[in-house]
Amino acid sequence: MHIAPAPQLQLPNDQDASGRSFGAEETAALDAVLASGTLTSTKGAYVRFLERDVARLFGVRYAYACASGSAAVHTAIAALDLEPGDEVVTTPITDMGALTPILYQAAIPVFADVDPKTYNVTAASIERVLSERTKAIVVTHLFGNPAEMAEILALADARGIPVIEDAAQAFGATYCGKPAGTLGRIGCFSLQQGKHITCGEGGIVVTNDEALARRMYLFINKAWGYGDPNPDHYFLALNYRLSELQGAVAYAQLQKLDDHVAIRRERARQLTDALSGIEGIEPPVHSDRVEHSYWKYAIRVDPQIYPGGPHAFAKALKDANVSSVPRYIQKPAFMCEVFQARRTFGTSSFPFTLARPAALDYRMESFPGTAEALAHVLVLPINERYTYEHIVYVASAIADAAQRLRSET
């Protein structure tokens, strides 16, 4: 019997117009910037508008735009003015742009294991790697699901260690009703092409701390004291500014953030409903304290039920034109060459040369949660252009793949 293949849907893709939402608002802001003739944020209006509205939206005193999410993390780390060899606890499941800034500031990234169900670091996993040299903790809210901040902040506050939130994937998420990125001392966001809102490349840092705000503003501006009576370049810093062209698009996008997040939540809820009852497939989990903002929709595939696990599942989904990413990252960050070979500045291996040996534990067996997380996770894209029809299609592709893979056993 011949069974006609089901018609294939083209899902919205966040790398092009199908999955992004640029319209008259972005065009009008861009036109205004071009008409003004001022493309630098040191003299223009739109980056200032963006910063003002981010501060308002998140209820924080200070927000500064910068060149990328990586620049945002770099700015946050630099603001702490660490000593070379100081340790910064972070996660092995993240974007490399959240890790290399630590090395550029001559500090040592120390990896904490993650919870295999949420993919986030926990107070317990952080506590295991703290030392007297720990001077900061970077908490990444992976896929838009805020980490358990109450316990993490209690641990950090008791020891006087500042917490930086990497909210690059968590625009619009909340923890105990507070926006992700506003719970720690500094929050970092990304405006890269594939994030909740975008201007191609860009980043934002937020804080309520006046001294840190001042240092972050300066770090983005070559540490030049604009407006001071006797300005100078006060310390080592870069030009990490966003241009007015990017600021215009980001400003228009920011006004759409609440809508984007609401759509992502609704579609995620629909997908979770549709997947219930498929054995060996676990939808994203989060605690009651959290409103997830679904940068991605990450499911867990049980390799006991589906031989080949997330990889086999991704292949089966590809046949239905549904793209997905098994493991999310091919390997934990500490398995990448920059860490394994300590390739930094020339042949020096600096700043690894300053580290305690225990801080450089890059053995897989020390990270059972990370290993389990990566062996199970399958990351499905989602964005503000997904309709209910798209969700129904994705859900039926997953159900079909599940049936096919199980019948092969």
Ligand X SMILES: *Cc1c(COP(=O)(O)O)cnc(C)c1O
Question: Looking at residue 96, what DSSP letter applies?
Answer: G
Q: Which two tokens stand for residue 165?
A: 């939130």
The distance of closest approach from Cβ of residue 121 to ligand X in the complex, given in angstroms and rounded to an integer, is 12
Sites of contact with ligand X (CB under 6 A): 68-70, 73, 94-95, 97-98, 140, 166, 168-169, 190, 192, 203
The distance of closest approach from Cβ of residue 395 to ligand X in the complex, given in angstroms and rounded to an integer, is 26
Is the CB of 133 or the CB of 196 nearer to ligand X?
A: 196
Angle, vertex CA 353, rays to CA 137 and CA 125, nearest 5:
30
Question: Looking at residue 212, what DSSP letter applies?
Answer: H
Is the CB of 195 or the CB of 300 nearer to ligand X?
A: 195
The distance of closest approach from Cβ of residue 66 to ligand X in the complex, given in angstroms and rounded to an integer, is 9
Is the CB of 105 or the CB of 270 nearer to ligand X?
A: 105
Q: Which amino acid does the sequence have at 320? A: A
Catalytically active residues are 195
Going by their DSSP bridges, the two strands 325-326 and 203-207 should be labelled as unpaired
Contact 76, 188 (CB under 8 A): yes
Which residue is nearest to ligand X, using beta carbons?
A: 69
C-alpha closest to that of 120 among 99, 98, 100, 90 = 90
The distance of closest approach from Cβ of residue 351 to ligand X in the complex, given in angstroms and rounded to an integer, is 20
Is the CB of 62 or the CB of 295 nearer to ligand X?
A: 295
Q: Which two tokens stand for residue 167?
A: 């909210």
The distance of closest approach from Cβ of residue 112 to ligand X in the complex, given in angstroms and rounded to an integer, is 15
Please tell me whether the peptide bond between 351 and the residue prior to it is cis, using omega within 30 degrees of 0. Answer: yes
Angle, vertex CA 294, rays to CA 241 and CA 150, nearest 5:
85
Residue that has been written with the tokens 């191609």 in this structure: 200
Is the CB of 120 or the CB of 270 nearer to ligand X?
A: 120
The distance of closest approach from Cβ of residue 10 to ligand X in the complex, given in angstroms and rounded to an integer, is 25
Cα Rg, the chain, nearest whole Å: 22
Is the CB of 166 or the CB of 291 nearer to ligand X?
A: 166
* CB neighbourhood size of 348 (10 A): 10
C-alpha closest to that of 285 among 393, 391, 143, 91 = 143
